[in-house]
Amino acid sequence: MEWTGYVLSAHIEPIVLNEAKRMTSLYISTKNKDKLRELRELLGDEVEIHHPGDQDEDVEEIGSTLWENALLKAEEGFRRTGMLSIADDTGLEVDALNGEPGVYSSRYAGADATYQDNVDKMLRELNGVEAASRKARFSSVICCVREGDEPRRFDGVLEGTIIEQARGYNGFGYDPIFVPESDTRTLAELSAEEKNRISHRGRALRAFAQWWRTQV
């Protein structure tokens, strides 16, 4: 496996599952409640989802790419549980900012930045930039780690534009200022079903689910 040199100290007892349960269960290496909600909506009720508890140590995102961070988190999930484990990392790439914030999207305004802090900084950085130059894309990378297999990668991309003022109350992160190219509404103005149908994470997760269903 790639990137196996990092030793992470967190440890919890492996989850013990019988074989039938193991085939319909997976571990998602995130404590982000918004991501977990989206993943549950996308995977459906036939999948039993396990994830870290609030008391569990976070996996530090020390990678320089989305893939490296997703791999780190998925490998740690597998180490903790022995289950098929997936993790994602997502970045917003803005052309006018030379691809920033990218891998640093969740901490664009600082290590302890809130969603609003990041949105506010983005709007400040793009102040005065004309609409035609505000093209951007969300990229999601999902890594899957399981016993006896190399890490597997699944990608999803959503092209769009950053608008000048936030709109909408659904979603999270940069959703209120991102308009997908297939719509005139921001992601925060879409219903969960509408967003999941087109989103970067939804596309990556559907690619994973399509592969996974051939394995069970």
Phi-psi region for residue 94, left (φ > 0), alpha (ψ -120 to 50) or beta? Answer: beta
- The answer to whether residue 14 sits within a structural domain is no
Instruction: Name the burial class of residue 3, with classes exposed (0-12), middle (13-18) and buried (19+) by CB atoms within 10 angstroms of its CB.
Output: middle
Reported as a pLDDT band with limits 50, 70 and 90, residue 31 is confident
- The answer to whether residue 1 sits within a structural domain is no
* Model confidence, pTM: 0.82
Which residues participate in catalysis according to the annotation?
Answer: 89
- The answer to whether residue 4 sits within a structural domain is no
Q: What is the pLDDT of residues 85-120, one digit of tens each?
A: 999 999 999 999 999 999 999 999 999 999 999 999
> Which among 51, 53, 57, 52 is positioned nearest to 7, based on CA atoms?
57
Give the C-alpha distances (Å, rounded to integers) separating 90 from 79, 141, 142, 201: 22, 6, 9, 8
Assigned token pair, 156: 């999803």
Q: Output the pLDDT for position 30.
A: 84
Q: What is the mean pLDDT of residues 50-68?
A: 84
- The answer to whether residue 152 sits within a structural domain is yes
- The answer to whether residue 8 sits within a structural domain is no
Nearest 5°: CA angle at 143, between 42 and 112? 85
- The answer to whether residue 11 sits within a structural domain is no
- Kind and range of the H or E run holding 41: helix 33-43
CB atoms within 10 A of CB 135: 15
What residue numbers bound the domain in which 151 lies?
19-212
- The answer to whether residue 82 sits within a structural domain is yes
Q: Is the pLDDT of residue 15 over 50?
A: no
Assigned token pair, 53: 């508890």
Reported as a pLDDT band with limits 50, 70 and 90, residue 54 is low
Q: Output the pLDDT for position 103.
A: 96
Q: What is the pLDDT of residues 155-214, one digit of tens each?
A: 999 999 999 999 999 989 999 999 999 899 999 999 988 998 899 998 998 899 888 878
- 204/155 Cα distance (integer angstroms): 5
The total domain count for the chain is: 1
Assigned token pair, 210: 């399509």
Q: What is the pLDDT of residues 68-80, one digit of tens each?
A: 999 999 999 999 9
Reported as a pLDDT band with limits 50, 70 and 90, residue 2 is very low
Q: What is the mean pLDDT of residues 19-31?
A: 69
- What CATH number should be reported for the domain holding residue 128? 3.90.950.10
